[in-house]
Chain A
Amino acid sequence: MSSMHLSQLHKWMLSSPPIEWAVNQLRELLIGAIRQGPVPQHIAFVMDGNRRFARSHKIETVEGHNLGFEALARILEVCYKSGVKIVTVYAFSIENFKRSKYEVDALMAMAKIKLQQLSQHGELLHKYGASIRVLGQRDLIKPDVLEAVDRAVELTKNNGDGGLLQAFISSSATLLTDSNYTKDPVQESQHFALTFDIPYTIKHIRRHDSISTTTTLHADSPNDGQEGPLYPDPETITSSTIEEHLLTAGNPPLDLLIRTSGVKRLSDFMLWQCHEETEIVFLDTLWPDFDLWSFLPVLVEWQWKQKHIEEKGSANGIKNSKIKVR
């Protein structure tokens, strides 16, 4: 209870106009300062802890997800202002679909409404060059939500480089076959978590004749197949081939992966992308609590490390080898 009062007092203090103004100025200043250094180009978030937050604050789970969405909006603002190009969030995992129907429905409804609402502001999105992509297992989404998804994606498709939000719908095991059903090579030519890319790649390589017009396959197009005349030689597959067939193809390498709420697992998220040089950060904060003040230390530490790597790299040429690995 006392913490409740304290937080009330705290809120009251913070909401007095001069302090509010000062805090806002400070935020802007700090974000501007962050821009001066190296900024991660691609950040991934696992938004964990909405339920626990709801439980510990004795509010409804759905309400917790709502607050989680607000936290996402806050963080996206910070990311945008500090110059992050791509933000990938783990929107739903297959385990989410196993939760109570009520909760799943509420989540879906929320996604739908938010996306619909977003679609109403096409002009604004365009102005800032923001775009949205939804990656992953689309057949898990209900048709009506999918419609909203498609609209939002379509609307922002050409909005280039302002900033990209990617949301993942994922599962661990069942997804694999899903990738074979992909129809639209542009929308879905990339497959996301590692789990799914192999058959997908194979499928594409097998169908090479039919889709050779797409640019995604240029890695294996120069060769002429030795088996069937239509198939490229499997020996030409390299890790960059796989990379190009991931859902995240074309993204800059993942610089930072943040998982909140103290769970120290990747849970099928961005495995291929994050297992090399990505800095993975596990935070104890619950996602709805996650804001600039918990994000900033992570960013500053990342920048600090980046500087050290650079120093070391220039000292003994490690950097060269790192680039080669890429």
Chain B
Amino acid sequence: MSVASRETDIYRRDAKVDHNLLTPAERERLLKPYLPTPPTRSPSKRGRKDGIPSIRIDQPKGSRLGVRKFLKNQLHALVYTIVHAIFSVYIRFRQAYHAVKDRIFAILYYHHRTPELIQKDVKGLSRLPEHLSVVLKLEDGGRGGAGLEALVDEVAEIAAWCACVGIPMLSVYEQSGILKGYLPAAHRAISRKLSSYFGPQHPALSLRAPHVPSMESPSSPPTSGAPGPSSKTLSILLLSSEDGRDSLVDLTKTLTEMSQRSKLSTKDISSDLIDAELSESVMGEPELLILFSPSVELAGYPPWQVRLTEIYHVQDNQGVGYQVFLRALYNFANAQMRFGR
């Protein structure tokens, strides 16, 4: 039996009897070989208590160990370079692998702008989110509106998929909030996209943004007066970073003011109240959040509302794709909802 596992064994036996087996001194002796050099980094002749320990000190102390330390540092730097070189190669391969995989998925599952196909794709799913949220990123390359146009198109595509699947609520987060300035145009674009999927009788559409005199538009379906089968409504909410922290700050201001004027007791301020206020002024808690970015970074997404949201992303994925959307839904249906840890 090796030293380490023997010591682990001793530790566990000690732990089993609530650490009464060993005295603190014995325990420290047991631990000794594993302790790193004390943070002051100076040889042991230095007293234990002097100075404030700091682990960041790396400058050589000019002692006789300087050379050894220098060499050690060099070795570490070398290993660092090697590790990162290997990692760069690895990550290229991983990205390539994921790109190929995503392509294959994209070919296998393509929507062909046919609602029936999309409905077939999600038929087996045990549950669907009532409120789906996506994070999009404005790719501003040209500054000439190309990025904006692409963004609007992405919103429209996702809206169309949601309409097909039957998700009634979609919130679109984009950090800069540029979309909020183009509500009517976006509404037109989405309507157009919906009709390209559904034909003339597409579901009603309402597009709004918090704090913006909302485009109170229960859709302007081209063939109005035909409630028919497509009486479902899709509501889309456009969010930006100001709906995150800023809205919380605003709420804090309001509540503070109210409580300063004694209109509201601080006892009454509960998370339920904040929940209610925020879900009224911004939105409720989404059940599923889809990120189309290569890694999970919330980029200022409303923090209050994500507390229990299932966050889905595809590693190394770039850009909006139907397959990501679909995989997120699959994942959502399979995941067992376990609150807490």
Chain A's nearest CB lies how many Å from the CB of B162? 20
A29 to B, closest residue via Cβ: B79
Contact A239 B245 (CB under 8 A): yes
Task: Give CA–CA (A180, B265) in the complex, Å.
Answer: 11
Known contacts: A93-B341, A231-B260, A276-B298. The answer to whether A160 contacts B84 by CB under 8 A is no
Chain B's nearest CB lies how many Å from the CB of A267? 6
Contact B76 A33 (CB under 8 A): yes
B53 to A, closest residue via Cβ: A129
Count of residues in A whose CB is under 8 Å from the partner chain? 95
Chain A's nearest CB lies how many Å from the CB of B97? 15
Contact B252 A90 (CB under 8 A): no
Asked if A300 is an interface residue, CB under 8 A from chain B, the answer is: yes
Chain A's nearest CB lies how many Å from the CB of B313? 8
Segment from A132-140, A143-151, A182-190, A195-203 that makes contact with B:
A195-203
Asked if B24 is an interface residue, CB under 8 A from chain A, the answer is: yes
Chain A residues with CB under 8 Å of B309's CB are 265-266
| Residue of B2, B91, B254 ringed by the most chain A CB atoms within 10 A | B2
Segment from A53-61, A169-177, A210-218 that makes contact with B:
A169-177
Q: Which listed residue (B251, B272, B306) contacts A271, Cβ 8 A?
A: B306
Chain B residues with CB under 8 Å of A93's CB are 340-341
Task: Give CA–CA (A98, B5) in the complex, Å.
Answer: 35
Asked if A305 is an interface residue, CB under 8 A from chain B, the answer is: yes
Task: Give CA–CA (A81, B41) in the complex, Å.
Answer: 12
Chain B residues with CB under 8 Å of A265's CB are 308-311
Asked if B77 is an interface residue, CB under 8 A from chain A, the answer is: yes
A325 to B, closest residue via Cβ: B300
Task: Give CA–CA (A305, B297) in the complex, Å.
Answer: 12
Asked if B257 is an interface residue, CB under 8 A from chain A, the answer is: yes
Contact A201 B307 (CB under 8 A): no
Contact A275 B298 (CB under 8 A): yes
Known contacts: A15-B4, A33-B79. The answer to whether A266 contacts B341 by CB under 8 A is no
Chain B residues with CB under 8 Å of A292's CB are none
Asked if A111 is an interface residue, CB under 8 A from chain B, the answer is: no
Contact B72 A281 (CB under 8 A): no
Contact A239 B249 (CB under 8 A): yes
Contact A80 B36 (CB under 8 A): yes
Contact B55 A83 (CB under 8 A): yes
Task: Give CA–CA (A267, B246) in the complex, Å.
Answer: 22
Contact B300 A276 (CB under 8 A): yes
B307 to A, closest residue via Cβ: A268
Contact A267 B340 (CB under 8 A): yes
Chain B's nearest CB lies how many Å from the CB of A93? 5
Task: Give CA–CA (A201, B266) in the complex, Å.
Answer: 10
Known contacts: A177-B267, A199-B270. The answer to whether A235 contacts B312 by CB under 8 A is no
Chain B residues with CB under 8 Å of A241's CB are 249, 252
Asked if A253 is an interface residue, CB under 8 A from chain B, the answer is: no
Chain B residues with CB under 8 Å of A120's CB are 24, 27
Contact B310 A194 (CB under 8 A): no
Asked if A142 is an interface residue, CB under 8 A from chain B, the answer is: no
Task: Give CA–CA (A267, B285) in the complex, Å.
Answer: 12
Task: Give CA–CA (A281, B3) in the complex, Å.
Answer: 34
Asked if B127 is an interface residue, CB under 8 A from chain A, the answer is: no
Q: Which of A276-305 contact B (CB under 8 A)?
A: 276-282, 300-301, 303-305
Asked if B304 is an interface residue, CB under 8 A from chain A, the answer is: yes
Task: Give CA–CA (A220, B3) in the complex, Å.
Answer: 57
Asked if A242 is an interface residue, CB under 8 A from chain B, the answer is: yes
Asked if A224 is an interface residue, CB under 8 A from chain B, the answer is: no
Known contacts: A33-B79, A80-B55, A300-B87. The answer to whether A194 contacts B304 by CB under 8 A is yes
Contact B253 A234 (CB under 8 A): yes
Chain B residues with CB under 8 Å of A80's CB are 36, 55
Contact B267 A227 (CB under 8 A): no
Contact A20 B308 (CB under 8 A): no
Chain A's nearest CB lies how many Å from the CB of B316? 11
Asked if A17 is an interface residue, CB under 8 A from chain B, the answer is: yes
Contact A90 B79 (CB under 8 A): no
Contact B251 A266 (CB under 8 A): no
Known contacts: A66-B15, A176-B269, A264-B311. The answer to whether A271 contacts B303 by CB under 8 A is yes
Known contacts: A29-B76, A95-B341. The answer to whether A176 contacts B271 by CB under 8 A is yes
Which 3 residue pairs spanning A and B have beta carbons closest together?
Answer: A95-B340, A15-B2, A129-B53
Interfacial residues, chain A to chain B (CB-CB below 8 A): 11, 14-17, 20, 29-30, 32-37, 46-48, 66, 77, 80-81, 83, 90, 93-96, 98, 109, 113, 116-117, 120-121, 123-124, 126-129, 159-163, 172-173, 175-177, 180, 194-196, 198-199, 201-203, 205-206, 225, 227-228, 231, 234-235, 237-239, 241-242, 263-268, 271-272, 274-282, 300-301, 303-305, 325
Interfacial residues, chain B to chain A (CB-CB below 8 A): 1-5, 12, 15, 18-19, 24, 27-28, 31, 34-36, 38-39, 48-49, 52-56, 72-73, 75-77, 79-80, 83-84, 87-88, 91, 244-246, 248-249, 251-257, 259-261, 266-267, 269-272, 274, 295-304, 306-312, 335, 338-341
**What are 30 A-B contacts defined by CB distance under 8 Å?**
A17-B2, A32-B72, A32-B76, A33-B83, A46-B341, A66-B12, A83-B56, A93-B341, A117-B24, A120-B24, A121-B24, A128-B53, A172-B271, A176-B274, A198-B251, A198-B255, A199-B269, A202-B266, A206-B266, A234-B253, A235-B253, A237-B256, A239-B246, A242-B249, A266-B311, A272-B303, A275-B301, A276-B300, A300-B83, A303-B84
- List 14 other contacts, CB 8 Å, given A29-B76, A95-B339, A279-B297: A20-B2, A93-B340, A161-B52, A176-B269, A195-B304, A201-B252, A205-B256, A227-B261, A237-B256, A264-B335, A265-B311, A266-B311, A276-B300, A304-B91
